[in-house]
Amino acid sequence: MLPDIRNYDALYQAFRWQIPQDFNIATVCCDRWADTQPGSAAILDVRGDQTITVTYAALRQRASRFANMLAARGVARGDRIGIMLPQGSDVAAAHLGVYKLGAIAVPLAILFGVDAVEYRLEDAGIKVLITNADGVAKLRKIERLPPTLQAVFSADGGDGDILDLERELAAVSDQAATAATTPDDPAMMVYTSGTTGSPKGALHGHRVLLGHLPGTQFTHDFLPQPGDRMWTPADWAWAGGLLNILLPALYFGLPVIARKFERFDAEAAFDLIARTGIRNAFIPPTALRMLRSVENPRARFNLNLRSIASGGESLGAEVYEWGRSALGLVVNEFYGQTECNQVLGSCGAAGLNKPGAIGKPVPGHRVAIVDFEGRPCKPGETGQIAMLRPDPIMFLGYWNRPEATRDKFIGDWMTTGDQGVMDDEGFFSFIGRDDDVITSAGYRIGPGEIEDCIIRHPAVAIAAAVGKPDPLRTEIVKAYIQLRQGYEASDALAAEIQSFVRTRLSAHEYPREIAFIDDMPLTTTGKIIRRELRARG
């Protein structure tokens, strides 16, 4: 817990980690509240005009049923369980059920296409998948499911070898003990993309939740306060949705709003904030830019917002100023990666905000701008943003990738591949990436997975994916394609390739622009020179 000290320097110096020897996310996020305040609201599940209140007692019963259902299928400590469901109370219950068993939750975004799902099922060795009809439809398109996958549960009913989730949950007890785990025992694995190769599974221990608490409190102006109620439009499969909102809210015993958006709608978002009394929101910069399209939101909606935190991409001074003028709030920006999230941040309540800057190190985290040898840079010098270990928020390592884990560090500094600078006041600013990762609408997208998909199209010889600046999404994915002999460039072919990628990966990864080129710029070793392509615009 952050001490309520409103001076940043004093707060940073006063903070001390308190990591217990035994720690399980299910215990602190559900069991203890079910014991002490069973009737309190844990999740307000908004479904159209209906809002279903899920109490902590009901959440524990549902989580226990998930644990018992999985145990009946042979799930044991350390097994990987895929959770691919839209934002809703069952996502929370499934996660808590997995943690109760000491198993490992693998959140999978509902946006993922067939190829993306197939890769993660195989790479993680997922034993059980919990999904819905959309997820089942994607599985049906996979030619050969991995042998590790032993059971699939669908929230929309059974069909042949697909098990009916509700029926299976009803068949087991709503009482289950929570496994004894340590802070370092694996709890979840969140996939992240890099520039080369396939996406990597960032494995986190139960302590990752404790690591997120000071950042959540800091960027939400000393959460929790009386009446606080949390929400994010971000998918709970994303680290931002799961670890910046859902689990911290439950840890602090606060209600969290669940609402599935097929597509983000600014008017509907403001209506939801007003109708459900949301006080604290994590809203990625792209969604904030969309909210700017609504005129006079404070006059039109009965808003009761106390704090807005934003991260995943650069916020920018313009959106920062809009928050102050249109909402009467300071938008608190934060920064991190899936491997080590929410380590830099701003806090309006402590007077720690600067337009165009991310903020300063969150209490408990040691962050610096370092050079290529891991030496801290002087103020004003450009270098790479890096975090010092040990840190409870930091990942345990990449799943089955020991070399990639080692390469992530320079000594004890965990590198990010993100270029930044620290000014004389100690504020950090983000400059750009040196690893070619594309940031679009809050998602960090590795070009390797996109390129691998594009070249599966029979017309494509070579493909390169780069980020193109975009005023709404920060960047869009643009693909440069060299065609095979016998194919001619056309708008129709570009649209066909876009559809090909969109259905195989996900809606946020397909190239929104395609340029056909005769020769791909390559180094002497055959590597694509992406900086030359980015310069073309």
Which domains can be identified in the chain, with CATH numbers?
Answer: 1-15+206-370 (3.40.50.12780), 25-204 (3.40.50.12780), 440-536 (3.30.300.30)
Whose tokens are 């040990």? That residue is 390
Cis peptide before 379 (omega within 30 of 0): no
Task: Supply φ then ψ for residue 28, to 5 degrees.
Answer: -80, -25
Distance CA 257, CA 61 (A): 19
Distance CA 495, CA 506 (A): 15
Count the neighbouring beta carbons within 10 Å of the beta carbon of residue 80: 26
Cis peptide before 233 (omega within 30 of 0): no
Q: What is the pLDDT along the chain (537 residues), one digit of tens a residue?
A: 899 999 999 999 999 999 999 999 999 999 999 999 999 999 999 998 899 999 999 999 999 999 999 999 999 999 999 999 999 999 999 999 999 999 999 999 988 999 999 999 999 999 999 999 999 999 999 999 999 999 999 999 998 899 999 999 999 999 999 999 999 999 999 998 644 457 899 999 999 999 999 999 999 999 999 999 999 999 999 999 999 999 999 999 999 999 988 788 899 999 999 999 999 999 988 888 889 889 899 999 999 999 999 998 778 788 898 999 999 999 999 999 999 999 999 999 999 999 889 999 999 999 999 999 999 999 999 899 999 999 999 999 999 999 999 999 999 999 998 889 999 999 999 876 666 778 888 887 878 788 878 988 999 988 999 999 999 988 999 999 999 889 999 999 999 999 999 999 888 889 999 999 998 887 544 567 888 898 898
pTM of the model: 0.87
Distance CA 506, CA 450 (A): 10
E strand or H helix at 502, and its extent? helix 491-504
Burial class (CB in 10 A: 0-12, 13-18, 19+), 49: exposed
Distance CA 280, CA 244 (A): 11
User: Considering only CA atoms, which of 260, 227, 10 is closest in space to residue 155?
Assistant: 260
Are residues 530 and 464 in contact, defined by beta-carbon separation less than 8 angstroms?
Answer: yes
User: Given 3-state DSSP classes, what are the helix, strand and coil percentages for the chain, each rounded to the nearest 5?
Assistant: 30, 25, 40
pLDDT at 195: 42
pLDDT at 525: 43
pLDDT at 286: 81
Q: What is the secondary structure of 37-65 as a DSSP string?
A: -TTSEEEEEEETTEEEEEEHHHHHHHHHH
pLDDT at 193: 63
Are residues 389 and 367 in contact, defined by beta-carbon separation less than 8 angstroms?
Answer: no
